[in-house]
Amino acid sequence: MADPVPHKARMSPVSRRSFLQTLGVAGAAAGVAPAFLRRADAQEFMLKAADPAAKPGGTLRFGILNAPAHFDVHQSGTISNLGGQAPMYDLLIRRDPRDGNTIIPDLAHKWEVSPDGKRYTFYLRKGVKFHDGAEMTAEDIRATYERIVRPPKGVVIPRSSLFTAVGDIVVVDPYKIEFRLTEPRPRAYMLGAFASGWNVIVRKKTLDDNGGNLRQVMNYPGTGPFRHVSRKDKEVWIQEKNPNYWNKNLPYVDRLEIYNLPAFSPELGSAFLSGKVDYARIMDPISWRKAKEMPGVTATAMNQSVIQAYFFNMKRKPFADPRVRRALHLATDRHVMVDVVKDTAPMQVGGFVYPFHEWSTPKAQLEKRLGYQKDPKAAIQEAKKLMAAAGYPNGLKNLDFVVRDLASFKLWAVAIQAMLKDTLNVESNLRVVQTSQWFEEAGSGNFDLAISAIVSSLMDPSDYFTAWYGKGGPQNYSGWTNEEFHSLAHNLEREVDENKRKAMIPRAEEILENDPPLVPVAWEQIYDAFYNRVRGQNATKFFGIYDVTRWDTVWMAQS
């Protein structure tokens, strides 16, 4: 939809100044934007490794879950796809792989956002070629995003919900494209959505030739730094350096060997510890601790975009009462929860908002709050009072507790079952089911309590406030509603002033604490380990593993 404000007046050029302002969202935390970006002219911006000693050559052997159920990155929600496919594709804009956070140019060398937040204009690089030799133009960007925003029937794209405000996608010329929003969205939110690692740019022709569905198309052309060489299902994906890559400095390594090694598995740990891979991602804690002790190895931890939680069936009587839900929330000792799985999966304590987000309650403050204290006595006392006030002083019996058949959920379920019994005399029967069945049970409301994990694409609350806690939200398995919260979330999603948005979060947290839609059990972390010959990536500040898996700035100190 066209905005009545004249184009010239409406646009605020972002090419250099605003580009740096955008960087400032992340850079502000450090107080200053990185030096290399302050010097950069956005139109000429070419990415390179931070270390001037970076040299080309060598092979990177990367171990990660890499057994996709299909090949359509847009339709995926698992690292199984991005782990193997991300290096072959580019985005419109991207997160800087050197810090994992700053948004920098990619196929768009600059962009502009109108002051009312309703128009995003991207200027594309010229001369960018797909791996099949075709030139990338705005038509490819439009085809890619039309599909993401409005997927055809039978094509399910989890990130479509990030772009609900996108109306028209207009090709102004072959190297300029506009996204016209029907209503404003916060700049950080929208740019974060465009920079999401899932939104890889594919050819319009590829989509046309395959009826808009790439699930069974293994090698479709991208513009990325690496090209497909060969693939053995559930074994390895081999890629080679793209010699025609538009970013002339990149990539450094000549060859990528991406081994399929499942997350948290001893197999991944043993492959790394025996030196069969140079870089391992999503390691189990035991192998990771072993790696940490090894000379010549760096072991890192980063935050992941996943909350582990258990849900209530709000249609069943006791859980319609917020006091009962809050009582269970308070009786769940999160420090114990993290400890219970310390050898299975790395976790951290948190509430309803990403605990490491700058808007959430700081950790020190959170640990003073009931339900998050290291000593749970006060929380349990309060929980008992709430149960009594709700009419359940003697607890609850025979709750059906549906558990996803994964190691951490099974460990937690047993611990939660014991905790609730000991503290509130709430008795539950565990029912362990396969993942595919868990979603059937949760979707059809066939449970009292159900434990699982849910994921978001962005750290911005507007993403997961809608998906996890929103009325009818796709991952609101409890069926929770709270009109004040929904109204607040609605405003948060449309408010373009970041300060006003930030000011809404404490109230949102307060509502969620008192009327919990779920019980946060823990927030996931990711353990990486790499031999020190692998240089050029700092995985400690990444938010999740999905946006920065392209390996273009990585180089090998020894081949």
Partner 1 sequence: MQKYLLRRALFALGTVIGVSIIVFVVLRILPGDPLVALLGVEGHSKMTPADRAVIMRDLGLSDSLPVQYVRWMRDIATGQLGKSFFRGDTVRDLILHRGPLSAEIAFLSLVISWIIGLPVGVLSAIRPNGWADAVARLLSILFIAIPGFWLSMLVVLALLFWFGYKAPLLVVHVWENPWQNLQLVIGPAVVLGLAQGAYIARMSRSCLLEVIREDYVRTARAKGAVESAVVLRHALPNALLPVVTISGVLLGFVLGGSVAVEQAFGVPGLGRSLVTAISERDIIVVQNLVLFYALIFVAVNVLVDLSYAWLDPRIRYQ
Give the interface with partner 1 as residue ranges (CB under 8 A).
67-71, 75-78, 153-158, 160-161, 215-216, 218, 232-236, 259, 261, 266-267, 270-271, 273-277, 433-437, 439-440, 452-455, 474-475
Q: 249 vs 270, which CB is nearer to partner 1?
A: 270
What's the min distance (Å) between Cβ of 168 and partner 1?
Answer: 23
What's the min distance (Å) between Cβ of 202 and partner 1?
Answer: 17
Q: 55 vs 276, which CB is nearer to partner 1?
A: 276
> Is the Cβ–Cβ distance between 159 and 192 less than 8 Å?
no
- DSSP notation for 68-124: -SSS-TTT--SHHHHHHHGGG---SEEE-TTTS--EEESSEEEEEE-TTS-EEEEEE
CA distances from 410 to 195, 350, 452, 456 (A): 35, 20, 10, 23
CA distances from 365 to 348, 350, 362, 368, 501 (A): 15, 11, 5, 5, 20
Q: Is the peptide bond before 13 cis (omega within 30 degrees of 0)?
A: no
Q: 353 vs 455, which CB is nearer to partner 1?
A: 455
What's the min distance (Å) between Cβ of 277 and partner 1?
Answer: 8
What's the min distance (Å) between Cβ of 432 and partner 1?
Answer: 13
What's the min distance (Å) between Cβ of 55 and partner 1?
Answer: 27
Residue matched to tokens 């709270």: 482
What's the min distance (Å) between Cβ of 141 and partner 1?
Answer: 23
Q: 54 vs 155, which CB is nearer to partner 1?
A: 155
Q: At 56, which helix (H) or strand (E)?
A: none
What's the min distance (Å) between Cβ of 427 and partner 1?
Answer: 25
**Cα–Cα distance measured from residue 259 to residue 154, given in angstroms and rounded to the nearest whole number:** 30
Q: 376 vs 470, which CB is nearer to partner 1?
A: 470
The alpha carbon of residue 11 and the mean position of all alpha carbons in its chain are separated, in whole angstroms, by 30
**Cα–Cα distance measured from residue 169 to residue 177, given in angstroms and rounded to the nearest whole number:** 7
What's the min distance (Å) between Cβ of 174 and partner 1?
Answer: 32
Strands (E), 269-409: 279-281, 297-312, 347-348, 396-404
Q: 12 vs 435, which CB is nearer to partner 1?
A: 435
Q: At 430, which helix (H) or strand (E)?
A: strand 426-433
Q: 242 vs 313, which CB is nearer to partner 1?
A: 313
**Cα–Cα distance measured from residue 96 to residue 104, given in angstroms and rounded to the nearest whole number:** 6
Residue matched to tokens 């991602």: 281
Buried b (16+ CB within 10 A) or exposed e, 501-512: beebbeebbebb
Q: 391 vs 474, which CB is nearer to partner 1?
A: 474
